[in-house]
Every structure is written in structure tokens, then in C-alpha cells.
Amino acid sequence: MATANANMIWRKLPIIQLKDGCAVFRTAYPVKSRKLLYVLSYCNDVVLCAATLGRDLDDAMKQENMRMHEKVVLDQVASKVMETVMERGQKQIGRVCKPGEGMTKRYSPGHCDWPIEQQSIIFSLLPLKLLGIHLSPSYLMSPKKSVTALIGIGDQEQVNHHGNACLQCDQKKTCKYRR
């Protein structure tokens, strides 16, 4: 039987708006996403977060005595569990918002027009080794069921109006990441 050990960390940081990105701790990070830059331009802070279901789940899926359909089902269930972990984490993050502040949608490297190579930004600002998450040279994470994300925090009205990049997207009907 496979077990998941869900863990999450997050960190709220002030951001400084720049022409081609944002700065955190006076270090410039050129955000290579037109849509994410638009969303962040209405924010004062950013929350970087990461979660994992742990290595035991990866090990279980590699077992030779597990049938392929069992691995597929386990993978699908683990994906749903990970989404629940991230949703609960986002609710927790929402509790640190000041009155009048709101949160954007979650954005992860590799989704929308945000290149997966920018995963290294999140890894440089969070102690992900504490969770046992490692980044490969091709920017994929291990354990497999691990997620990193960015959430912008800003004025509630502005975030409600501008905090979902999907509303600005020209691929509204065809995008598999549409929210």
C-alpha cells in the first residue's frame, strides 16, 4: 500500500515592481511571462510555496509487482490529493492577508506562458531541501508529486479584477490550464 506524506512550506515576501520583472530582497528576477507580469503588477507581496507527497509514493509507483492500471489509478489519486494540499495551503496563506487584501490565482513554472526554467527562482528563495524536494538539470522536481507556485497579494479590488491571467488570455477555449 502506498503512503503519502503531505508537506508544504511557504514564504510571503514584499516585491518591488520593475520594468521586466520584480525584485525580492533587492534581487531582480526577470519574470519571463507576460501574463504573470501583468498579474504581479497589481500586487505588493508575493507568496512562494511548495508542497510534496514525499518519496514513499514515488517508491510505491516503481514497484514491479504493481500492475499498470494500479499505477495509473494511484497517480491520478495522488494528483487529486496534491491539488487538495495546495488548495488548503492557499486558504492558510489567505489568513495572513491584511484587511482589504486579496490573492491572485496560483501560478506554477511551466504553466501558462511561464517557462519551467524559472523553477530555479522558487528554489533559490525557499528551503526546499527541508521537504526533500530536488530540482533536476531539466527543471523537473523529485519526488514526482511535488508542486511549486507563486501567489500574488495586493489590493482586494485590483486583485479581483486583474489577478487571473486567464481573463487576459487569447487561448481561452483551448488552454488546458484555464481557470
Q: What is the pTM of this model?
A: 0.85
Residues 6+ apart with CB under 8 A from 20: 30, 31, 37
Tell me: the pLDDT tens digits for 54-82? 988 888 877 778 888 888 888 898 999 99
148's enclosing H/E stretch is strand 146-155
Tell me: the pLDDT tens digits for 153-168? 999 998 888 777 777 6
Domain boundaries, the chain: 7-168
* Closest to 140 in 3D by CA, of 126, 119, 111: 119
Options 3.40.109.40, 3.40.50.740, 3.20.20.190, 3.40.50.720; CATH for 7-168 is: 3.40.109.40
- Please name the residue that has the C-alpha cell 522558487: 122
